[in-house]
Amino acid sequence: MVDNRSIIKCCQTFILTVWLISCTPNPKPAPTPDVGAIATQMWVELSVQQTLSAAIPTSTPLPTEIPTPIPRLVFLSTPITPPSDLSSILTVQNPVDQMQLAYIPAGEFLMGSTINDHDMNEDELPQHKVYLDAFWISTTQVTNAKFTACVNAGACKYSVSHTTNPHHLDPLYANHPVAYISWETAQTYCNWTGGRLPTEAEWEKAARGPDGLRYPWGEERPRLKFVNAANEYGITTVVGSFPYGKSTYGVFDMGGNVREWVNDWYDPAYYQYTPDRNPMGPETGDKKVLKGASFSDDYRYCRASNRLAHEPQSPGNARGFRCVYP
C-alpha cells in the first residue's frame, strides 16, 4: 500500500516544478541579421584585404603589363537620345570611355537644407525648389583605368607625379576612383568624353532625387552598408561596391569614396539668390564646389546637400569626379 504522505510529497514536488518552469522567462529571439549589410561589408572588406595584401612587396615577378587600348579623341556631336520609357531603360554607355550612364529626367527637386537638419551648414540655406532639364550622368566616379585611357589618348595629363600618387598606374587600383585630380583636369576629361562636370544642382538632384532625400539612399544614418566614409576602411574602394547606397536614379558612391568636383564657383550665399531654373552657379569666384564625402570624411559630410570648396588648380588625395551629358 502506497504511503499517503509519499503521494502528497510527490504531488507537491510536481506542482513546484511546473510553477518554476512557468516562471522561467523565455529567451528573446535573436534579432534578424541584415543580410544585405553583412554581404556588402564582407565583399568590401575582402576587396580591401586583397588590395592591401597584394600591395606588399614579394619576390614574385610582376606579370607583363597589357597595353591600355588608346581610344580616339571623339566629341559627342549630338546629345544622347532620351529613353522613351523610364521603367525599361537599358544600360547606356558613353561611346568614348564606355562609362555607364544614368538618365535624370527633367523636373523639380528640393535643393539645400532646412534649419531642422542639425548637421547643416549656413551655406546650405535656404532649402529651395529648382527645375532642371533632363541629363545623363556617370553611374560611378571616374576610375584610374578610365583616366589613364584619356592620358594615353593624349587628351589628359596627371595633376601630380606617380611618386605622389602611385595608384594611377597600379593595376590593383584600376577600378578605384581616380584621385589627386585638379578641377581643370577633371573638366578636361569630361570634355574629352563629350560632356562636362555636373553643375552643383545637377549633382545634387542625381544624389537625392526629386523629394530632397537627406542621403543618396534615403533618410537612414550612414553606416558600412551604404557608404565608404569615416575612415572605416582607410582607403578608397572599387567604384560601385555599395549597392545599398545608390541613389533613386541608380547612381553609386555619391555619399563617399572621394569628394567630387562640380562645375560651379563657390559662394556661401549662393542659395539665397539661386535661379529656380537650371542654375549654373556664380559667374566668378576663387574656389570651386566639391560635393559628397571622401573615405576619410566624417559621416555628416555624406549628406547630399553638403557643400565643400577648394582652389580649382589644387588636387588632393580625396578629390575625384564624374561627368554629365545634357
CATH superfamily label, 92-325: paralog of FGE (formylglycine-generating enzyme) (3.90.1580.10)
H-helix or E-strand containing 138?
A: strand 135-138
Residue in the block written with cell 601630380: 160
- Lowest mean pLDDT across 85-99, 102-116, 118-132, 242-256: 85-99
The neighbour count for residue 192, using CB atoms within 10 Å, is 21
**pLDDT confidence bin for 70, thresholds 50/70/90:** very low
Q: Is the pLDDT of residue 82 over 90?
A: no
For the chain, what are the domain ranges? 92-325
Mean pLDDT of 134-152: 98
**pLDDT confidence bin for 194, thresholds 50/70/90:** very high
H-helix or E-strand containing 262?
A: strand 259-265
Q: Is the pLDDT of residue 92 over 60?
A: yes
Separation CA 155–CA 85 (nearest Å): 35
Separation CA 167–CA 317 (nearest Å): 11
Q: What is the pLDDT of residue 64?
A: 44
- The per-residue pLDDT for range 217-276, each reduced to its tens digit, is 999 999 999 999 999 999 999 999 999 999 999 999 999 999 999 999 999 999 999 999
